[in-house]
Amino acid sequence: MAPASHVFGVTVRTLTNWIKRKKQGYLAPKKRRQSPSKIDSEKLKWNLHG
C-alpha cells in the first residue's frame, strides 16, 4: 500500500480511510467546517483603507 500512497501523495492511513469509505459506498469528499470570520469584510476594508 505504501507505493500507492506515494503515487497519490498521501499517507498510508489516508489511503486506508479512502478504501474503507469506498467499501461503505461513500467516497465523496467530506464537508469541511468553516469557522465564522472574526471581522466582517466591510470592517476589514475600512480598517485597511482608512
Average pLDDT of the residues in 6-16: 93
Which three cell numbers mark 2?
A: 505504501
Residue 14, domain member (yes or no)? yes
pLDDT score recorded for residue 49: 84
Residue 5, domain member (yes or no)? yes
Evaluate if residue 13 carries a pLDDT over 80: yes
Rounded to the nearest 10 degrees, how much is the dihedral formed by the CA atoms of 30, 36, 42, 47? -120
Residue 12, domain member (yes or no)? yes
pLDDT score recorded for residue 11: 95
What is the pTM for the complete model shown? 0.51
Residue 6, domain member (yes or no)? yes
Which three cell numbers mark 36?
A: 465564522
Q: Please count the structural domains in the chain.
A: 1
Residue 3, domain member (yes or no)? yes
pLDDT score recorded for residue 27: 81
Residue 10, domain member (yes or no)? yes
pLDDT tens readout for residues 14-50? 999 999 999 998 888 778 888 887 888 888 888 888 6
